[in-house]
């Protein structure tokens, strides 16, 4: 079995959508590259493989449209069960959110002998663009540029020019180099999260893992899952939408890794309880289902969001529940913070789960990858440095894997287009969602308490620094003299400390994950070069050239966004405007 990276170059004309070039690079041999000029040639290459090879595309979602179009047009059937897996069939793994993980094509099956090729998404292992991979690994080759529209009139099957060949060769070689670094370290799972979990299991051993994290019952998983929330992202309403002056940005050094290495985390078989949790030395951590009403205390930062409700906006941090009695599921870390920040009324304790606690289960894992990261930085081993960061950041989320899922099932329409329908609801074993819940809660508490301290010090006249924006592990503050806040653990390297990441002379924060700063990371130089840093979720880099402080506002529209449009034979990228929406 061999492993490859492949890439398609396609036309942008909806009336003539096709693959005009492809390249295939062997991961373990970067000089073994195959080129071609049509999807027919590519699938013929795949069909003639005899070793059941694995072929990665970097962003399989795009290239999969051309593969599945070819398969349907050439009489292949989509199989949804093992009984249907015969010659000329294919299976897919596409989740309900449209994330593509795998396409497996069986070209020929006779008894136990199978001739197949599996396509997977390398983006799920290395969540960076090709350009970012080349930069992160400091490769001698870079991502090139090409005018895609100029190839719309290129006759089908035309040979590649030297420039075209170099362009597509670099695309596959860059990703193949990075994937080879993973392979040399023994990591070949489908996602970075799966690789991290496999490495962790190997470190502590299967018996200890199974004993520490027993397979959760559906009741346990469903209850505790409600306490699992993401990072804290919040704009101080006092400064929202305003153009601000000098300021600083602080980032926590490896926030979630620090949590996993130092904080009490749940393990073992939990115990269900009714009513209010009663202090238990053996089971000090817990999740608690409550019913209540609440009002934010004066001067406090809100911490509560309510998802999937007709009464509240899911991404809004609430200052009040109004007249509505709400049901919340909070773990003990979030519950303590909730009671600090809000006045709570008509509080009713319903039920919960309590857990044993430990600080030791993840320490060796974090120490291993932190040591690798530090060593890689000293040795300028850019590949190991990136891999170490990915492994440090990817483990806890895998514990939160949901047990219920639907898949997207592809089918072929009469118009010769690939469309999708939802599968039946499926179930699978969870890992141990309580770990993910508590890790993110400790992270949110760290950020919120730091922001709250800065707000309190300013309100009391003890500091000129004003809290403006927070995002997961970062604080953005107005600071007229670029002064750092007192009372926070600030250090450039220590795990869990706040690092002076950058400073800005101008900033504007519109909403969560939507802001710009005239920024520099050169925090020591008295005359550094400032550049406009743009952070807007969903905005492509092609729009950046049109953004400035004057036109950066809710409702602003910029040219440069491309969205996929399904057409016969595959998919084209359609030019549309990007608009900054309120939510």
pLDDT at 69: 96
pLDDT at 179: 95
Region 547-568 average pLDDT: 94
Q: Is the pLDDT of residue 83 over 80?
A: no
Question: Where does residue 525 rank: exposed (0-12), middle (13-18), buried (19+ CB within 10 A)?
Answer: exposed
Nearest in space to 254 (alpha carbons), one of 375, 384, 371: 371
The CA-atom distances, in angstroms, between 297 and each of 10, 294, 338, 462, 523 are: 57, 9, 10, 21, 36
pTM reported for the whole predicted model: 0.93
Q: Which residues pair with 26 in a beta bridge?
A: 4, 29
pLDDT at 181: 92
Nearest in space to 56 (alpha carbons), one of 146, 159, 171: 171
Q: Is the pLDDT of residue 100 over 80?
A: yes
Q: Is the pLDDT of residue 205 over 80?
A: yes
Q: Is the pLDDT of residue 154 over 80?
A: no
Q: Is the pLDDT of residue 151 over 70?
A: no
Residue 373: Cβ within 10 Å count: 21
pLDDT at 152: 65
Q: How far, rounded to the nearest angstrom, does the alpha carbon of residue 87 sit from its chain's CA centroid?
A: 36
pLDDT at 85: 86
Q: Is the pLDDT of residue 487 over 80?
A: yes
Nearest in space to 124 (alpha carbons), one of 201, 187, 189: 189
| Weakest-pLDDT range from 373-382, 476-485, 549-558 | 373-382
pLDDT at 582: 85
At 411-452, the pLDDT tens digits run 999 888 899 999 999 888 999 999 999 999 999 999 999 999
Residue 240: Cβ within 10 Å count: 16
Q: Is the pLDDT of residue 391 over 90?
A: yes
Under the banding of pLDDT at 50, 70 and 90, the label for residue 150 is low
Region 525-539 average pLDDT: 91
pLDDT at 157: 83
Q: Is the pLDDT of residue 238 over 70?
A: yes
Q: Is the pLDDT of residue 275 over 90?
A: yes
pLDDT at 148: 63
Region 37-53 average pLDDT: 93
pLDDT at 149: 62
pLDDT at 432: 96
d(CA 487, CA 383): 36
In what order do the strands lie in the sheet containing 77-78? 29-36, 19-26, 3-10, 54-57, 113-121, 100-110, 89-94, 77-78
Q: Is the pLDDT of residue 153 over 80?
A: no
pLDDT at 390: 94
User: What percent of the chain clears pLDDT 70, i.e. is strictly above it?
Assistant: 99
pLDDT at 311: 75
CB 297 within 8 A of CB 342: yes
Is residue 376 helix, strand or coil? helix
Region 565-575 average pLDDT: 90
pLDDT at 290: 97
d(CA 388, CA 396): 14
pLDDT at 35: 96
Nearest in space to 30 (alpha carbons), one of 63, 1, 66, 5: 5
Q: What is the largest CA-CA distance in the chain?
A: 80
User: Using alpha carbons only, how large is the chain's radius of gyration in Å?
Assistant: 26
Q: Is the pLDDT of residue 312 over 70?
A: yes
Mean pLDDT rounded to a whole number for the chain: 93
């Amino acid at each position: 079995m061999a492993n490859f990276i492949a890439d398609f170059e396609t036309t942008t004309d909806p009336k003539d959508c096709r693959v005009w070039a492809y390249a295939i690079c062997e991961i373990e041999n970067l000089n073994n590259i195959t080129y071609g000029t049509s999807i027919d040639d590519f699938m013929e290459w795949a069909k003639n493989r005899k070793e059941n090879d694995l072929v990665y595309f970097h962003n399989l979602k795009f290239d999969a449209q051309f593969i599945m179009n070819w398969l349907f047009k050439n009489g292949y059937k989509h199989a949804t069960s093992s009984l249907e897996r015969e010659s000329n069939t294919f299976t897919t793994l596409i989740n309900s959110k449209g994330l593509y993980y795998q396409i497996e094509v069986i070209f020929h099956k006779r008894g136990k002998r199978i001739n197949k090729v599996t396509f997977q998404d390398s983006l799920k292992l290395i969540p960076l663009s090709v350009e970012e991979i080349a930069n992160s690994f400091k490769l001698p080759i870079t991502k090139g540029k090409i005018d895609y529209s100029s190839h719309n009139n290129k006759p089908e099957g035309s040979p590649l020019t030297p420039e075209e060949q170099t362009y597509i060769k670099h695309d596959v070689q860059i990703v193949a180099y990075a994937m080879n670094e993973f392979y040399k370290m023994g990591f070949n799972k489908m996602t970075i999260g799966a690789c991290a979990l496999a490495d962790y299991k190997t470190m502590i051993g299967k018996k200890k893992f199974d004993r520490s994290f027993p397979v959760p019952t559906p009741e346990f998983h469903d209850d505790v899952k409600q306490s699992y929330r993401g990072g804290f992202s919040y704009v101080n309403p006092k400064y929202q939408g305003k153009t601000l002056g000098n300021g600083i940005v602080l980032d926590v050094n490896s926030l979630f890794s620090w949590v996993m290495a130092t904080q009490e985390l749940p393990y073992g078989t939990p115990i269900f309880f009714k009513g209010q949790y009663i202090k238990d030395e053996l089971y000090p951590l817990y999740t608690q289902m409550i019913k209540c009403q609440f009002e934010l205390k004066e001067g406090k930062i809100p911490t509560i969001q309510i998802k999937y409700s007709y009464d509240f906006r899911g991404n809004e941090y609430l200052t009040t529940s109004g007249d509505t009695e709400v049901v919340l599921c909070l773990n003990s870390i979030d519950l303590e913070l909730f009671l600090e920040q809000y006045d709570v009324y008509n509080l009713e304790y319903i039920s919960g789960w309590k857990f044993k606690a430990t600080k030791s289960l993840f320490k060796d894992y974090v120490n291993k990858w932190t040591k690798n990261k530090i060593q890689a930085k000293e040795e300028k081993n850019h590949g190991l440095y990136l891999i170490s960061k990915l492994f440090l950041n990817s483990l806890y989320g895998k514990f939160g894997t949901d047990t219920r899922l639907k898949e997207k099932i592809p089918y072929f329409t009469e118009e010769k287009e690939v469309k999708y329908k939802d599968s039946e609801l499926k179930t699978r074993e969870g890992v141990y969602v309580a770990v993910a819940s508590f890790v993110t809660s400790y992270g949110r508490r760290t950020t919120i308490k730091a922001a709250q301290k800065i707000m309190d010090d300013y309100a009391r006249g003890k500091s000129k620094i004003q809290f403006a924006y927070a995002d997961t592990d970062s604080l953005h503050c107005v600071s007229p003299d670029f002064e750092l806040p007192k009372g926070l653990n600030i250090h450039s390297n220590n795990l869990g400390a706040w690092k002076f990441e950058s400073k800005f002379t101008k900033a504007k924060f519109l909403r969560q994950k939507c802001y710009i700063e005239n920024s520099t990371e050169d925090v020591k130089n008295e005359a550094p070069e400032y550049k406009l840093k743009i952070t807007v979720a969903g905005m492509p880099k092609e729009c950046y050239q049109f953004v400035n402080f004057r036109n950066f506002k809710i409702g602003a529209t910029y040219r440069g966004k491309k969205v996929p449009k399904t057409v016969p034979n595959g998919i084209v990228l359609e030019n549309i405007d990007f608009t900054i929406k309120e939510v």
